[in-house]
């Protein structure tokens, strides 16, 4: 399998390129009805939603999985990996598909974008379902003040060096990607070899490794800077949309307790579901339970 074959895998969906916020984005769409945008996390790409895409179409939704900036078939830009720019990317992608607003399901970094866009681009966001990630303010607090979470996040400090982390990520056919998936998962045997190969190959495409690490470089380097302070101050505004917060109790990347208090930043309807026996990737580790949690909530939001 080549990186191109992994990224443009055929299936019951359509591959598209759309322009948004000054960049080109690769999206995968299927179905008709109210739009649901699917945003991946690290170290993944749109394919992480392969199970959910046809299920959403069957349930009566337009499902749109996105390769985020710097990943997969989307533009690998030299800048733009801050959450304010990424929120604007999302709003532009929604418009580029012909919708005024959409419900956003985001995993990991995609969940941080969902939280951010709900505040910063609220007109474009109907509801959000952050997966495996707390409200951004709580994540920042935990990374600074929670020793156990700091230990789990130590890898991000190593990403601050130039060049060396990219080489390590790509060494031995991107074996580190599979190591991260296994370490953060709570499900023995996941990922299976085919799934791991997909993610390893996609990370080897163009400058994806560099761009993926730029997300983490902005996150840490912006802490003392004015742009980081402005971003956090903006996130003190409440999320007025409905929120479905899905977490894995065995998350090896972000402790579930870090999400405690996320509801304090929400004035819309807030619901939290903690799934036992799964880790940082509940939508993949137990796709059926994830779907059973998500789709009834979507139906309620759109009723």
Rounded to the nearest 5°, which phi and psi values hold at 132? 65, 30
Domain architecture of the chain: domains with CATH: 3-301 (3.40.50.1820)
Region 288-294: what's the mean pLDDT?
97
Q: In the prediction, which pLDDT does 29 show?
A: 98
Element (H, E) at 191: none
Binned at pLDDT 50, 70 and 90, residue 91 comes out as very high
Check residue 214 and give its pLDDT.
98
Model confidence pLDDT, tens digit, residues 102-151: 999 999 999 999 999 999 999 999 999 999 999 999 999 999 899 999 99
Residues in the chain: 303
* CA distance readout (Å), 207 to 42, 71, 170, 177, 222: 14, 8, 11, 15, 22
- Considering Cα of 198, then 277, then 66, then 44, what sign does the dihedral take? negative
Strands 102-107 and 62-66: unpaired
Q: What is the DSSP letter of 266?
A: B
Instruction: Tell me what pLDDT residue 14 has.
Output: 98
Q: Is the peptide bond before 191 cis (omega within 30 degrees of 0)?
A: yes
The answer to whether the CB of 62 falls within 8 A of the CB of 98 is: no
Beta strand segments in the chain, E: 14-20, 23-30, 35-39, 62-66, 102-107, 125-131, 243-248, 270-275
What is the signed CA dihedral for 221, 218, 50, 283, rounded to 10 degrees? 30
Confidence of residue 45 (pLDDT cuts 50, 70, 90): very high
């Amino acid at each position: 399998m080549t990186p191109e074959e992994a990224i443009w895998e055929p299936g019951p969906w359509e591959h598209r390129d759309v322009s948004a916020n000054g960049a080109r984005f690769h999206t995968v769409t299927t179905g008709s009805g109210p739009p649901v945008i699917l945003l991946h996390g690290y170290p993944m790409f749109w394919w992480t939603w392969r199970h959910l895409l046809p299920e959403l179409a069957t349930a009566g939704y337009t499902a749109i999985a996105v390769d985020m900036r710097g990943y997969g078939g989307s533009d690998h830009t030299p800048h733009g990996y801050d959450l304010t720019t990424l929120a604007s990317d999302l709003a532009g992608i929604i418009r580029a598909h012909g919708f005024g607003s959409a419900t956003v399901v985001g995993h990991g970094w995609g969940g941080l974008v969902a939280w951010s866009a709900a505040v910063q681009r609220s007109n474009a966001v109907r509801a959000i379902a952050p997966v495996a990630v707390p409200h951004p303010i709580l994540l920042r607090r935990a990374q600074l003040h929670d020793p156990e979470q700091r230990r789990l996040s130590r890898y991000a400090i190593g990403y601050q060096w130039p060049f060396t982390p990219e080489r390590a990520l790509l060494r031995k056919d991107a074996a580190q990607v599979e190591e991260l998936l296994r370490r953060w998962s709570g499900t023995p045997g996941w990922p299976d070899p085919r799934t791991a190969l997909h993610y390893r190959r996609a990370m080897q495409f163009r400058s994806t490794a560099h761009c993926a690490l730029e997300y983490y470089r902005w996150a840490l380097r912006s802490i003392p800077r004015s742009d980081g302070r402005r971003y956090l101050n903006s996130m003190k505004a409440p999320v007025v949309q409905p929120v479905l917060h899905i977490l894995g109790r065995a998350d090896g990347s972000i402790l579930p307790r870090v999400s405690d208090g996320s509801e304090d930043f929400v004035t819309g309807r807030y619901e939290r579901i903690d799934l036992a026996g799964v880790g940082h990737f509940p939508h993949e580790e137990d796709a059926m339970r994830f779907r059973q949690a998500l789709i009834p909530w979507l139906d309620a939001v759109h009723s």
